[in-house]
Structure 1
Amino acid sequence: MLSTMQDVPLQIRRIMEHGLNRHSTATVDTAEPGGLRTSTFAEIGAGAARLAHALKELGTGDGDRVATFMWNNAEHLEVYLAAPSMGAVLHPLNIRLPGDQVVFIANHAEDTVVVVDNSLLPLFAPLLPRMETVRHVIVNGPGELDAPEGVTVHDYATLLEGRPATYDWPDLDERQAAAMCYTSGTTGDPKGVVYSHRSIYLHTLSLVAPDVFDLSFRDKVLAIVPQFHVLSWGLPYAAFLTGCSLSMPDRFLTPEPLAGFVKASRPNKGAGVPTVWQGLLGYVKATPDADISSLTSAVIGGSACPPVLMDAYDEMGITLLHAWGMTEMSPLGSLARPPRGADADAVRAHRLTQGRFIASVESRLIGPDGSVLPNDGASVGELEVRGPWITASYYRADDPEKFHDGWLRTGDVGHISPDGYLTLTDRAKDVIKSGGEWISSVELENHLMAHPAVAEAAVVGVPDEKWGERPLAAVVLRPGMTADYAELRDFLGGEIARWQLPERWTTVPEIPKTSVGKFDKKVIRNQAAQGLLDIKKI
């Protein structure tokens, strides 16, 4: 027996049209030198329609990849709406990847059009001659670009000028490709994940729920997480679905201009990686007239939030909420809101987890022998997930080791409580295997960063003749502060079992980071192996 329900396809155009029809006066603030520029959803929608007309005239058809090389701004949002709604495929390029990887990704995806912010032209120009399938480059803002033969350069504003402010958006198959993003390629070549209209629509519905990001037309969100990083965690589409206004910081992500932008735009919620929040905190603490008091909460993801950072924002009345996900998951998998009625200790304990799995994300833990482990809060295994916005394969790339009986192997190791809260103890590639036992590098790092003299810390496994592998702690000290290794080891001794304490220590000027702000531990491992670090053993 079939239902009597109407079969209306789930499409990004319907998210956009809802935002335009019901929330046309909601706003998008874009940071600019010395201030901000405000656009309404109605103006963004008109710009998206004009862009769709322009792209169609340039020959963009169904399935053609429209890439972006841009910051978070109003024009980038227009591409987010126009490209998939007209039947093309949105493809944000990660501007922080090495140039060779950007070229590989553009060629692998077969991008035909690239929209580029003028401030990024010096970074983009050397890459363009090696982009084999690109035929048009659209530059947002004044700027000159020497293009190779066969590539036409357009000015964004001029290209859109005089075109209709409406577009006859087509009805598309909801399983049709809408957007694609690539993994950061920390091991091997980056791999492409292709999202459908259906998967983005369902992910957006879950994202805005009260137990998740809790977004409505009463909110304004500071979108620090880049639009080139897993579709800015879905915030652009969540905004149009709910009428939530957006604060887009463009290229102004260092602490001083970011604090000024928050003061001017007055968002009440935010989303971004820990490193940006850490930098903003330091600036606010040191600057009496800095004002980020409009913020009440922020979702933090990409890597684990140090408890000391969470505590510091609590003191300012801003609640940091842990979230976890992956490019392969669109990206959201879990978010850490404490259960109702929990006491203070339980609230803190739940907030320090990666959160409770959200509806439609199924999870299981797999032990070393391949068995499924119980969700008892103690059994530790590799996490596998499945659901309607989780990829089943990579684009034009085989990786059978990543997929297991219809489940995605996340590469994360941890445990799950009976009520569905996930605690990650490490990445499978980062867990330290010492004498047949596992040591969590993340746990060591979080406790180290609670020391008042430590700004950042990364812990990696290094070879050891007796135990196979032992932890090496690399620390970054705060300016003007000192701490010897014995003091730091004793500090850890109050929280960590003695056999897990590092014997090897080094001080570095900064922790290497990936293009999305995560600690790049393979760099530290390689430096240690090559004898490039001043390692002391205590």
Structure 2
Amino acid sequence: MRGLMQDRQLTIPTLLSRAETNFGHKRVITGGAGETVATWREVAPRVRKLARALTSLNVPPGACVGTFAWNSQRHVELYIGIPSSGRILHTVNHRLHHGQISFIVNDAADDVLFIDRSILPVIWPLVPSFRTVRHIVVMDDGGDMPLPDDPRILDYEELLSAQDDGPFENTVDDENAAASLCYTSGTTGNPKGVLYSHRSVVLHSLLLLGADVFALSERDVVAPIVPMFHVNAWGLPYAAMQCGADLLLPGPIKDAEELVTLLSRYGATFSAAVATVWRDLIPALPGHDLSRLRHIACGGGAVDDALSSTYEKIVGIPLTNAWGMTETSPVVTTARLATHHDGLDAEERRRLIGTPGPAVPLTEIRVVSDDGVEQPRDGRSPGELQTAGATIASAYFGADNGSDSFTADGWLRTGDVATIDQWGYLRIVDRTKDLVKSGGEWISSVALENAVMSDPRVKEAAVIGVSDPRWGERPMACVVPAAGVNLTADDVREHLRDRVASWWIPERIELMNEIPKTATGKWSKQTLRRRFAD
């Protein structure tokens, strides 16, 4: 017997309808030189015109439409209008290597590209390598590159103004239809495509509203610093539409002082970024009123306690860790304090919320040993982290379906080494390829990095394994001293003496001006390995 409930599909057009009907007065704010403020009531007709424009350009239903854009109102319009019209939103990271960008655009077979004018100088030289692109729509964000004399180039605002307002040309009647496409950062081999459905996008946006996740509500001013080209900005634009929060977007702002000023001026209550960004903002924090911030989410890697405690001292709240991947929409776990943590002191509580935390609703996690046995939940038994759920990929899109990344029973193999305790709290030990095996024993690069960065004289530290004739492999620490600090390798080793096992302490410590970063702001250990391979 089937339940007698209405069969309403979970699709992105329902998000716009809700935002326009219930929260039409709430704002979408874009920072930068051309700062703009618009309400959802003003944004909605533009989204419908965009959908009609795609039809006028003869973009086939189900085709991929690529975007190279900052966090902005126009990008939000693309987030909604493209999938709501029956096409697939394909956000592309313009910071990737040129060869990877060409591979991604061709692998997705993008039909039309929407590009911010300030990003056009990066992309235009690559256009001859794009095999399927028929039109390039330029969004004028103040960039100064003269537009090439090419019939494929169109202006975004002119394209919209040529359309009549009205309903969507195509309705999405299947919640399992493809809605958006993101590619992994491609740290090894070519990037892999992750194809999200309307259903997964809507479910993930709902998860973020949960009290034990981000607790987003109509009262919030949600400020995603994480780029909209990276895993749909962690789903935050869609979540803001669900709950009616104001959406505060930095646009092309990269300067720390400008960004902190924007958060302060509009009273951001929630913001999310990777640890590298939070670290870079520290010098700009003093003198700004950030008292409305109630939650600062940090992803993309471990939250070292020195960084979190700095925010607690200056802003009044520590960083809260969350874990996920492009393949997981991305949020799978987020830290929170439960009843069994009530006895912890302030420092212990801060350290706890710097860990990934338990799985959010509708997702599951497990750790599995090398011989395929699920490890006990004792917080001490490490294994490969695997995850499953309605917001988790089941295969990859495109040329590489990555079949070895999924288990026989359908779980995603993350490549992380982790433990889970009796309460379901996750701790990432390391990436499989980042563990250092010295003399047959494992050293966690994450734990060693956190120990190095607990020294206030250190700004950043990344640990890699380098070959050693006696031990097979030894840890090497790449360390960036804090501004104005005269730090030596012996200083680092002395700081580690009472913090890690003696055999963990690196013989080789490289003092650097900057740790190389990936296109998504994470430390590029692949670059470090190439640099110090010998």
Do the aligned partners of residues 342 and 205 (structure 1) sit closer, same or farther apart at CA in structure 2, a change above 3 Å counting?
Answer: farther
TM-fit CA distance, 1:185 = 0.7
CA-to-partner distance for each residue in 1:246-289, whole Å, 9 max, x for gaps? 1100110220211221232221110111111111112224xx4x
CA-to-partner distance for each residue in 1:129-148, whole Å, 9 max, x for gaps? 21111111111117643266
Equivalences, count: 524
TM-fit CA distance, 1:2 = 1.1
Corresponding residue for residue 533 of structure 1: none
TM-fit CA distance, 1:346 = 4.4
CA-to-partner distance for each residue in 1:36-75, whole Å, 9 max, x for gaps? 3101111111111111111110012320111100000000
Q: Distance in 1 between matches of 2:361 and 2:110?
A: 34
**Residue number among 294, 298, 301 corresponding to 1:300 in the alignment:** 298
Residue aligned with 2:119, SS: helix
Residue 248 in structure 1 maps to residue 249 in structure 2: yes
Corresponding residue for residue 174 of structure 1: 175
Q: Distance in 1 between matches of 2:114 and 2:25?
A: 26
Corresponding residue for residue 78 of structure 1: 77
Q: Distance in 1 between matches of 2:317 and 2:353?
A: 13
CA-to-partner distance for each residue in 1:331-376, whole Å, 9 max, x for gaps? 1110001113342254234212111111111111111222111111
Identity of aligned residues (%): 42
Corresponding residue for residue 421 of structure 1: 425
Q: Distance in 1 between matches of 2:87 and 2:238?
A: 16
Residue aligned with 1:412, SS: strand
Corresponding residue for residue 519 of structure 1: 523
**Bigger shift: 164-173 or 440-449?**
164-173
Residue aligned with 1:424, SS: strand
Residue 20 in structure 1 maps to residue 24 in structure 2: no
Residues 90 and 182 in structure 2, CA contact (< 8 A), matched pair in contact too: yes
1:473-492 residue pairs with structure 2 within 5 A?
473-492=477-496
Residues 183 and 191 in structure 2, CA contact (< 8 A), matched pair in contact too: yes
TM-fit CA distance, 1:166 = 3.2
Q: Distance in 1 between matches of 2:82 and 2:207?
A: 23
CA-to-partner distance for each residue in 1:351-402, whole Å, 9 max, x for gaps? 1211111111111111122211111110011101111111111112132221
Q: Distance in 1 between matches of 2:468 and 2:216?
A: 50
Corresponding residue for residue 165 of structure 1: 165
**Structure 1 ranges of 4+ moved more than 4 A:** none
Task: Provide the alpha-carbon RMSD of the alignment.
Answer: 1.5
Residues 296 and 319 in structure 1, CA contact (< 8 A), matched pair in contact too: no
Residue aligned with 1:180, SS: strand
Residue aligned with 2:67, SS: strand
Residue aligned with 1:279, SS: helix
Corresponding residue for residue 407 of structure 2: 404
Residues 305 and 351 in structure 2, CA contact (< 8 A), matched pair in contact too: no
**Residue number among 501, 508, 521 corresponding to 2:512 in the alignment:** 508
Residue 269 in structure 1 maps to residue 270 in structure 2: yes
Instruction: Name the aligned partner's letter for residue 81 of structure 2.
Output: A
CA-to-partner distance for each residue in 1:457-510, whole Å, 9 max, x for gaps? 011111112221110011011222122222211211221111211111111111
Instruction: Name the aligned partner's letter for residue 40 of structure 1.
Output: T
Instruction: Name the aligned partner's letter for residue 148 of structure 2.
Output: D
Instruction: Name the aligned partner's letter for residue 23 of structure 1.
Output: F
**Residue number among 334, 356, 359 corresponding to 2:358 in the alignment:** 356
The gaps in structure 1 that reach 5 residues or longer are 531-538
Residues 129 and 147 in structure 1, CA contact (< 8 A), matched pair in contact too: no
Instruction: Name the aligned partner's letter for residue 293 of structure 2.
Output: L
1:13-162 residue pairs with structure 2 within 5 A?
13-33=13-33, 36-141=35-140, 144-146=146-148, 152-162=152-162
Q: Distance in 2 between matches of 1:32 and 1:346?
A: 39
Residues 177 and 196 in structure 1, CA contact (< 8 A), matched pair in contact too: yes
Instruction: Name the aligned partner's letter for residue 62 of structure 2.
Output: G
Residues 339 and 347 in structure 1, CA contact (< 8 A), matched pair in contact too: no
**Bigger shift: 362-371 or 82-91?**
362-371
Residue aligned with 1:404, SS: coil
Q: Distance in 2 between matches of 1:195 and 1:174?
A: 11
Residue aligned with 2:285, SS: helix
TM-fit CA distance, 1:318 = 2.8
CA-to-partner distance for each residue in 1:276-326, whole Å, 9 max, x for gaps? 1111112224xx4x4433323211101222211110111121331100000
CA-to-partner distance for each residue in 1:194-253, whole Å, 9 max, x for gaps? 000111111111111111111011000111000000000001110111101111001102
Q: Distance in 1 between matches of 2:152 and 2:173?
A: 29
Q: Distance in 2 between matches of 1:269 and 1:76?
A: 20
Residues 454 and 475 in structure 1, CA contact (< 8 A), matched pair in contact too: yes
Residue 392 in structure 1 maps to residue 394 in structure 2: yes
Do the aligned partners of residues 349 and 305 (structure 1) sit closer, same or farther apart at CA in structure 2, a change above 3 Å counting?
Answer: closer
1:519-538 residue pairs with structure 2 within 5 A?
519-530=523-534
Tell me the TM-score normalised to structure 1 length.
0.95
Residue aligned with 2:513, SS: coil
